[in-house]
């Protein structure tokens, strides 16, 4: 009974937040509602029994998407977007029927799959059988690296492509719109960073290490690490540059290149592409991916080609 109440509340919150995000009064409130929607999604994942997804959703889905949206919003305002808070929605007679129809379609597919008396997924059973051979305890990390290595490799490539495309679109000479405000800094910022940044790095490394046998993994760790970077950008500890220094370039490319190099190695002794040679390779790839994911997300947030340390007195 208690569980049903909890699930009911989560579903109610998801639906009302989605409605608010889309039709709320001002765009800024929409962003806030969307971020809270993401956090509620994380709760829903935890209830469904998918803690890895809950963590990814909280860090990536809610946290970084929200940060990216707020930065884009601020850039629109800086470019003089005087979008009125109560912009009339577009009138469309077909909108409601199409929305109801597609919602029904999703519901029927879901209920059909839920009620059908089909056997458990064979792929999942094979994964659970194979994992002990590799000494992996987290089935999701196992699927991502052992069975769907190509997907994971391409996923990093997509993130990199998004970064390149965003950089190509950003053009030059708009740094005035994004320049950080020159408020005098309160002494608390330094003290806060001194505590929060090491803790964030600790959490990220823990998530990375834990990813092989319990909840966690490179994506969650990378997102947490990116949050530390976002904090450093916001507090002006690192500043934007137009071109990336060698260290930043290495960071961006580390995940993709480590994955490709280790993935090609098995070809030398006649095994299939992307057959990972052992636990060391999993740790190496996951670490490199964490660094790359964090670097790409920070650069997307900062809208910068590179970052450099900003020394202050």
Partner 1 sequence: MADLGLYVFAAALLFGIGVYGLIVARHLMRKLFAINIMGNAIFILMVTAARPLDGAPDPVPQALVLTGIVIAVSATAFALALMVRLHRETGQVSLSADNESGGDDG
Size of residue set near partner 1 by CB under 8 A: 103
Give the shortest CB-247-to-partner 1 separation in angstroms. Answer: 22
Nearest to 22 by CA among 11, 31, 9, 10: 31
CA distance 137 to 27: 43
Nearer to partner 1, 193 or 209 (CB): 209
Q: Does 73 bind partner 1 (CB under 8 A)?
A: yes
Residue ranges in 123-162 that form contacts with partner 1 under rule CB under 8 A: 123-125, 127-128, 139-140, 142-144, 147-148, 151-152, 155, 158-159, 161-162
Nearest Cα residue to 229 out of 305, 171, 300, 156: 300
Among 203, 212, 219, 282, binds partner 1 (CB under 8 A): 219
How do the residues of the chain divide into helix, strand and coil, expressed in percent and rounded to 5?
A: 75, 5, 25
Residues between 266 and 305 that touch partner 1 (CB under 8 A) = 293, 297, 300, 303
Report, in Å, the least distance between residue 285 CB and partner 1: 15
Supply the minimum distance, in Å, between the C-beta of residue 113 and partner 1: 4
Nearest approach, Cβ of residue 201 and partner 1 (Å) = 21
The stretch near partner 1 (CB under 8 A) out of 114-122, 202-210, 244-252, 257-265 is: 114-122
Burial bucket for residue 59 (CB in 10 Å: 0-12, 13-18, 19+): buried
Q: In the complex with partner 1, which residue's Cβ is closer, 82 or 186?
A: 82
Instruction: Write the binding mask 76 to 95 for partner 1: x where contact by CB under 8 A, - elsewhere.
Output: x--xxx-xx-xxxxxxx-xx
Shortest distance, CB of residue 185 to partner 1, whole angstroms? 28
Q: Which residues have a Cβ under 8 Å from the Cβ of 228 and sit 6 or more positions away?
A: 196, 197, 200, 201, 204, 294
- Number of C-beta neighbours around residue 130 at 10 A: 15
Question: What span, in angstroms and rounded, lies between the C-alpha atoms of 278 and 78?
Answer: 51
């Amino acid at each position: 009974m208690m569980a049903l109440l909890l699930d009911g509340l989560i579903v109610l919150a998801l639906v009302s937040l989605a409605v608010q995000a889309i039709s709320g009064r001002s765009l800024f409130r929409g962003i806030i509602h969307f971020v809270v929607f993401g956090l509620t999604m994380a709760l829903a994942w935890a209830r469904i029994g998918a803690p890895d997804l809950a963590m990814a959703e909280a860090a990536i889905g809610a946290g970084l998407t929200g940060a990216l949206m707020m930065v884009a919003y601020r850039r629109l305002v800086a470019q003089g977007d005087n979008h009125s808070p109560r912009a009339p929605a577009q009138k469309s007679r077909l909108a409601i029927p199409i929305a109801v129809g597609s919602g029904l379609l999703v519901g029927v597919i879901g209920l059909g799959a839920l009620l059908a008396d089909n056997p458990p997924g064979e792929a999942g059973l094979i994964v659970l059988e194979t994992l002990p051979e590799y000494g992996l305890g987290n089935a999701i990390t196992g699927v991502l690296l052992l069975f769907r290595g190509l997907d994971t490799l391409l996923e990093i490539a997509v993130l990199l492509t998004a970064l390149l495309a965003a950089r190509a679109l950003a053009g030059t000479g708009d740094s005035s719109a994004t320049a950080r405000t020159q408020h005098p800094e309160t002494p608390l910022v330094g003290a806060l960073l001194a505590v929060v940044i090491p803790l964030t790095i600790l959490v990220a490394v823990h998530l990375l290490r834990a990813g092989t046998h319990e909840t966690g993994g490179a994506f969650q760790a990378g997102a947490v690490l990116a949050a530390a970077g976002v904090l450093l950008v916001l507090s002006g500890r690192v500043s934007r540059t137009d071109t990336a220094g060698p260290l930043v370039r290495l960071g961006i490319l580390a995940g993709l290149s480590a994955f490709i190099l280790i993935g090609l190695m098995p070809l030398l002794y006649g095994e299939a592409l992307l057959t990972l040679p052992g636990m060391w390779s999993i740790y190496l790839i996951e670490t490199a991916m964490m660094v790359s994911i964090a670097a790409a997300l920070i650069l997307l947030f900062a809208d910068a080609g590179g970052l450099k340390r900003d020394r202050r007195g």
